[in-house]
């Protein structure tokens, strides 16, 4: 692990016994990372829009976190300016730069959302190879419905049968399902599974009115996807909290899922609330009182930069140590995996050691949060 000169300490060393991280939710890696400042910086925002005139996506807490953690992995001082960093990246060559960044992240296993990303991406074996770590599939639900609709045309029965087949197939090859219902409609969904008649009517209407490639946003169909996933018994990851311009933030409050959480309880199917910010205290409450609810902070700890310890501490106000998971929610840039991992380790040190708790308790809690909880939840083997 690389040494750094200033700012938050390099926490890979201070917590030597911490097992390798399990990144329980991330995405694919770009095949070719841009090395010009503008195109590179576009990956530093959840926005699909260019930055406002006179501003740069580097001028943010996330931009400074990238400058804090990534240059040292390439042999530069922390906070090297973006131009100098990207020059060094180009000089090393993409393969070597990516390798240095990803190995520095210290991620021992990955669960990868198979949903689509812009640009040519590395997934599956190519991703595992890049990390030198096992990569497991998380099956995104909505594209399964869209692929089934593409295949079925206007045939409602064919669509529903095809969807059921795709979900069964995905369950066989995945460790978890993932829903982006928060984006497509919002989390204020009716809690129960739709009736067969309700489902058929919604499917028929969608197929009839769907433009080619159209996304599924009907709340009845989204509920059917959620319940189809619940029936497999695999953990179900749900996007909650902040995201891109598509999102109505107040509709992504995980507390809106409470009735769904209760309806799922008898099945025992684990629900994993992703990201959650700025509703991470609400998510922590759900994780505290419902045995089958888990949560992570995902990209939050990267985006909030120097405030990562505070946001993690806010989450641990109510979240039991056995119910919070680590993830980077990184996508595209190797830098985002490294930043996610370092921000988490740094935040963990600050948040767990701040209150003066005994070292053996914080060591045990840290091991759970870093990977133990994910290994238990997803049935992964112990590592090292």
Contact positions with a second copy (CB under 8 A) in 315-344: 316-323
Report the nearest approach of a second copy to the CB of residue 47 (Å). 4
The answer to whether 249 contacts a second copy (rule: CB under 8 A) is yes
Please list, in sequence order, all residues whose beta carbon lies within 8 angstroms of the beta carbon of residue 339, skipping any fewer than 6 positions away: 62, 65, 66, 68, 69, 70, 302, 328, 330
Establish if 49 lies at the interface with a second copy (CB under 8 A).
Answer: yes
Helices 156-172, 219-232: axis angle to 10 degrees equals 40
- State which residue, 45 or 327, has the beta carbon closest to a second copy: 45
Work out the number of other CB atoms within 10 angstroms of the CB of residue 136: 17
- The distance of closest approach from Cβ of residue 349 to a second copy in the complex, given in angstroms and rounded to an integer, is 14
- Token pair in block for residue 241: 């909290």
Judge residue 337's burial from the number of C-beta atoms within 10 Å of its C-beta, 0-12 exposed, 13-18 middle, 19 or more buried: buried
193 binds a second copy (CB under 8 A): no
Reference 219, options 247, 250, 188; nearest CA is 188
- Tell me if residue 87 falls in helix, strand or coil: helix
Distance of closest approach, residue 286 Cβ to a second copy, in angstroms: 8
Q: Which is nearer to a second copy, 206 or 242 (CB)?
A: 242
Identify which range of 11-19, 140-148, 220-228, 256-264 contacts a second copy by CB under 8 A: 256-264
The secondary structure of residue 68, as a DSSP letter, is H
Nearer residue to a second copy within complex by CB, 85 or 242: 242
Q: How far is the CB of 123 from a second copy (least distance, A)?
A: 25
Among 16, 17, 54, 379, binds a second copy (CB under 8 A): 54
Pick one of 38, 93, 233, 291: the residue that binds a second copy (CB under 8 A): 291
Task: Determine if 311 is a binding residue for a second copy (CB under 8 A).
Answer: yes
The beta-strand segments (E) located in the chain are 21-26, 29-30, 107-113, 121-122, 135-140, 176-179, 236-240, 271-275, 293-296, 324-325
Site membership for a second copy, residue 39 (CB under 8 A): no
Residue 358 found at the interface with a second copy (CB under 8 A): yes
Does 376 help bind a second copy (rule: CB under 8 A)?
Answer: yes
Are 204 and 156 in contact by the 8 Å Cβ rule? The answer is: yes
Member of 116, 165, 289, 383 binding a second copy (CB under 8 A)? 289
- Binding residues for a second copy restricted to 72-111, rule: CB under 8 A: 79
Q: In terms of CB distance, is 51 or 155 closer to a second copy?
A: 51
Q: Which stretch binds a second copy (CB under 8 A): 27-35, 155-163, 197-205, 248-256?
A: 248-256
Distance of closest approach, residue 32 Cβ to a second copy, in angstroms: 25
**Alpha carbon distance, N-terminus to C-terminus of the chain:** 17
Segment lying near a second copy (by CB under 8 A), choices 15-23, 105-113, 123-131, 242-250:
242-250
- How far is it, in rounded angstroms, from Cα 209 to Cα 3? 57
How far is residue 344 CA from its own chain's centroid? 13
Stretch that binds a second copy, among 25-33, 171-179, 232-240, 282-290 (CB under 8 A): 282-290
- Cβ-based burial of 255 (10 A; exposed 0-12, middle 13-18, buried ≥19): middle
- In sequence order, the 6+-apart residues with CB closer than 8 A to the CB of 259 are 191
Residues 201-230 that bind a second copy (CB under 8 A): none
Residues that contact a second copy, how many (by CB under 8 A): 71
- The stretch near a second copy (CB under 8 A) out of 6-14, 31-39, 87-95, 215-223 is 6-14
| CB of 245 vs a second copy, minimal distance in Å | 5
CA distance 370 to 347: 11
Give residue for tokens 């599974």: 193
């Amino acid at each position: 692990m690389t040494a750094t000169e200033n700012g938050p300490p390099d926490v890979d060393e201070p917590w030597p016994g911490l097992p390798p991280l399990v990144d329980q939710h991330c995405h694919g890696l770009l095949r070719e990372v841009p090395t010009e400042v503008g195109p590179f910086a576009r990956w530093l925002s959840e926005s699909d829009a260019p930055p406002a005139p006179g501003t740069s996506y580097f001028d943010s807490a996330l931009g400074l976190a990238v400058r804090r953690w990534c240059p040292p992995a390439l042999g530069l001082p922390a906070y090297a300016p973006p131009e100098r960093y990207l020059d060094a990246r180009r000089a090393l060559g993409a393969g070597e730069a990516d390798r240095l960044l990803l190995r520095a992240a210290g991620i021992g296993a990955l669960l990868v959302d198979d949903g689509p990303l812009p640009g040519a991406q590395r997934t599956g074996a190519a991703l595992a190879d890049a990390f030198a770590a096992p990569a497991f599939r998380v099956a995104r639900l909505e594209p399964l419905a869209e692929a089934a609709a593409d295949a079925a045309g206007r045939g409602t029965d064919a669509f529903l049968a095809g969807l059921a087949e795709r979900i069964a197939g995905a369950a066989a090859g995945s460790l978890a399902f993932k829903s982006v219902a928060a984006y497509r409609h919002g989390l204020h969904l009716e809690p129960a599974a739709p009736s067969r008649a309700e489902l058929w009517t919604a499917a028929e209407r969608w197929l009839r009115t769907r433009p080619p490639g159209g996304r599924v946003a009907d709340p009845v169909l989204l509920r059917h996807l959620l319940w189809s996933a619940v029936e497999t018994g695999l953990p179900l990851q749900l996007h909650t909290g902040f995201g891109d311009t598509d999102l109505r933030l107040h509709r992504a409050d995980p507390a809106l899922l409470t009735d769904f959480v209760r309806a799922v309880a008898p099945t025992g199917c684990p629900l994993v609330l992703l990201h959650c910010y700025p509703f991470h205290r609400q998510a922590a409450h759900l994780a505290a009182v419902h045995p089958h609810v888990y949560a992570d902070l995902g990209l939050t700890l990267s985006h909030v930069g120097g405030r990562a310890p505070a946001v993690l501490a806010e989450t641990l106000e109510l979240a039991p140590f056995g119910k919070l998971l680590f993830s980077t929610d990184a996508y595209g840039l190797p830098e985002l995996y490294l930043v996610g991992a370092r921000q988490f380790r740094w935040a963990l040190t600050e948040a767990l050691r701040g209150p003066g708790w005994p070292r053996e308790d914080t060591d045990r809690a840290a091991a759970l949060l870093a990977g133990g909880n994910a290994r238990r939840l997803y049935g992964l083997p112990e590592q090292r």
